[in-house]
């Protein structure tokens, strides 16, 4: 039993026309005209596949293939069609269209499963237009209230609910996914590990927890020509020592601890002015909550100690904390087993970024299948996954879903 790789390739290529950018990417922001067109196309394909269509109150679009047991919980598969501005053709899309391909394959082969199998296109996963990310999956798993989601506004002040109605995708709350046995999401890795190791399949064990700190370092402004080195309280030098030391903490502590300073903003910026204030972020991730929290404390201690040593004021704000997600161990093992059965190299891997599966895991045992993306590039027009890997990943999804649907 294998999916039709050529058909899947054509499906993905056709979908990539909607919101296509000149450099090979797509811009398909949530609830935009392009998002509507993408949904309309997907809906047509789902109807052609004989699926029962359903749209819930957040615009999540479902296609259901009934099972033989009307009481059995469904196997839900899918991802999202929305993109960041000038994003890639694969992020989210592969998961949605691989799900369609699985259901097309069941149809072609006349396979009747015990459990219903449903595919879903979640609304507003990227958070690029309406923030925060993962609104559709967060809505049905009650991470967010309906009114919270409906009142999200984009940069132009346009409301989520108004746009949802405008594009004709406001459905009914009873249509939300329910009685779901498992959720499985296929996605490009968005990191370099599988590509570097040349492994086509990643069985995702979970998603790291994240803490964000916002650090402000205050020194004293001065003129580069008239302030002796010994009299300076240079905020940029102090902040630079902090960033270097944070990088050292990362390499010395647990090898999976990820520490990133991504935002770094000196207040003044002229060659002959000694900077008096720098603000920077620290992003701290680990799969183990305790190690992450120890990392947060180690960073804070380090910042304070360097601040004292350099004679600058340091303030640290805890901006955000998200606990790690641990996916179903048995599903992870199933993905490994199926991959080996199909003859595809597989490795267990941990996700570092939020996905719809993260929230779905709150209401049912969930899992993710990663496939490589070239050089780990994602959220850009260069984003690329090979057709071979997409096909392999979809075959893994096919067999995983089949086995789960027969249990």
Q: Which of residues 286-315 bind its own copies (CB under 8 A)?
A: none
Degrees to nearest 5, angle at CA 41 with 35 and 42: 90
Residue ranges for the known binding site for Zn(2+) are: 80, 91, 126, 187, 379
- Exposure of 53 by Cβ count < 10 A (0-12 exposed, 13-18 middle, 19+ buried)? middle
Nearer to its own copies, 197 or 388 (CB): 197
Is residue 262 near its own copies by the rule CB under 8 A?
yes
**Shortest gap between Cβ of 380 and its own copies (angstroms)?**
8
DSSP 29: -
Is residue 227 near its own copies by the rule CB under 8 A?
yes
Smallest CA-to-CA distance from 280 within 351, 228, 194, 215 is with 215
Spatial distance between the Cα atoms of 284 and 317, rounded to a whole number of angstroms: 14
SS3 assignment, position 159:
strand
Nearer to its own copies, 161 or 195 (CB): 195
* Alpha helices, DSSP H, located in 53-116: 93-109
**Shortest gap between Cβ of 264 and its own copies (angstroms)?**
5
Say what the alpha-carbon torsion angle 292, 298, 300, 304 is, to the nearest 10 degrees.
180
Nearer to its own copies, 57 or 389 (CB): 389
Q: Which stretch binds its own copies (CB under 8 A): 150-158, 163-171, 270-278, 395-403?
A: 270-278
Q: Are 402 and 67 in contact (CB under 8 A)?
A: no
SS3 assignment, position 258:
strand
Residue of 231, 301, 329, 362 interacting with its own copies (CB under 8 A): 231
C-alpha radius of gyration, the chain, whole number: 24
Q: Which stretch binds its own copies (CB under 8 A): 49-57, 163-171, 360-368, 377-385?
A: 377-385
Is residue 191 near its own copies by the rule CB under 8 A?
yes
Residue of 80, 176, 285, 392 interacting with its own copies (CB under 8 A): 285
Nearer to its own copies, 160 or 212 (CB): 212
Spatial distance between the Cα atoms of 123 and 79, rounded to a whole number of angstroms: 9
Is residue 66 near its own copies by the rule CB under 8 A?
no
Is residue 85 near its own copies by the rule CB under 8 A?
no
Spatial distance between the Cα atoms of 145 and 128, rounded to a whole number of angstroms: 19
Residue of 273, 304, 342, 374 interacting with its own copies (CB under 8 A): 273
Is residue 376 near its own copies by the rule CB under 8 A?
yes
Spatial distance between the Cα atoms of 111 and 105, rounded to a whole number of angstroms: 8
Q: Which of residues 207-226 bind its own copies (CB under 8 A)?
A: 208, 210, 212, 221-226
Residue ranges of E strands in 306-391? 313-322, 325-326, 346-351, 366-371
Is residue 276 near its own copies by the rule CB under 8 A?
no
Nearer to its own copies, 142 or 244 (CB): 244
Interaction site with its own copies (CB under 8 A): 189-193, 196, 208, 210, 212, 221-231, 234, 236-237, 239-244, 247, 250-251, 255-266, 268-275, 281-283, 285, 319, 351-353, 376, 378-380
């Amino acid at each position: 039993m294998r999916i039709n790789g050529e058909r899947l390739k054509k499906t993905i290529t056709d979908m990539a026309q909607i919101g296509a950018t000149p450099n090979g990417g797509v811009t398909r922001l949530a609830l935009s005209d392009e998002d509507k067109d993408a949904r309309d196309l997907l809906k047509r394909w789902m109807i052609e596949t004989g699926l029962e269509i359903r749209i819930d109150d957040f615009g999540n679009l479902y296609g259901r293939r009934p099972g033989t047991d009307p009481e059995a919980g469904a196997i839900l598969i899918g991802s999202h069609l929305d993109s960041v501005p000038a994003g890639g053709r694969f992020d989210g899309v592969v998961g949605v269209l691989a799900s369609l391909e699985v259901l097309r394959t069941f149809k072609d082969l006349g396979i009747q499963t015990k459990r219903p199998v449903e595919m879903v296109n979640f609304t507003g996963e990227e958070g690029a237009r309406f923030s925060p990310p993962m609104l559709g999956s967060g809505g049905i798993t009650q991470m967010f209230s309906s009114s919270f989601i409906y009142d999200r506004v984009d940069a132009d002040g346009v409301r989520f609910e108004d746009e949802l109605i405008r594009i004709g995708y406001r459905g009914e709350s009873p249509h939300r996914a329910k009685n779901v046995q498992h959720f499985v999401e296929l996605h490009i890795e968005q990191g370099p590990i599988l590509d570097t190791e040349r492994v086509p399949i990643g069985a995702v064990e979970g998603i790291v927890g994240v803490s964000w700190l916002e650090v402000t370092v205050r020194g004293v402004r001065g003129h580069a020509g008239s302030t002796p080195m010994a009299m300076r309280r240079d905020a940029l030098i102090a902040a630079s020592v902090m960033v270097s030391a944070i990088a050292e903490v990362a390499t010395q502590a647990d090898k999976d601890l990820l520490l990133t300073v991504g935002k770094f903003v000196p207040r003044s910026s002229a060659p002959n002015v000694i900077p008096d204030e720098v603000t920077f972020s620290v992003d701290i991730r680990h799969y183990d909550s305790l190690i992450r929290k120890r990392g947060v404390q180690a960073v804070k201690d380090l910042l304070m100690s360097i601040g004292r040593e350099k004679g600058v004021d340091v303030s640290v704000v805890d901006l955000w904390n998200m606990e790690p997600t641990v996916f179903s161990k048995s599903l992870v093992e199933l993905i490994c087993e199926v991959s080996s059965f199909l003859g595809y190299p597989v490795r267990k891997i941990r996700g570092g970024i939020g996905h719809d599966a993260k929230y779905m895991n709150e209401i049912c045992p969930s899992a993710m299948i990663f496939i490589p993306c070239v050089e780990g590039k994602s959220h850009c027009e260069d984003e690329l996954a090979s057709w071979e890997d997409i096909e392999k990943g979809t075959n893994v999804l096919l067999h995983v879903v089949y086995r789960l649907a027969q249990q």
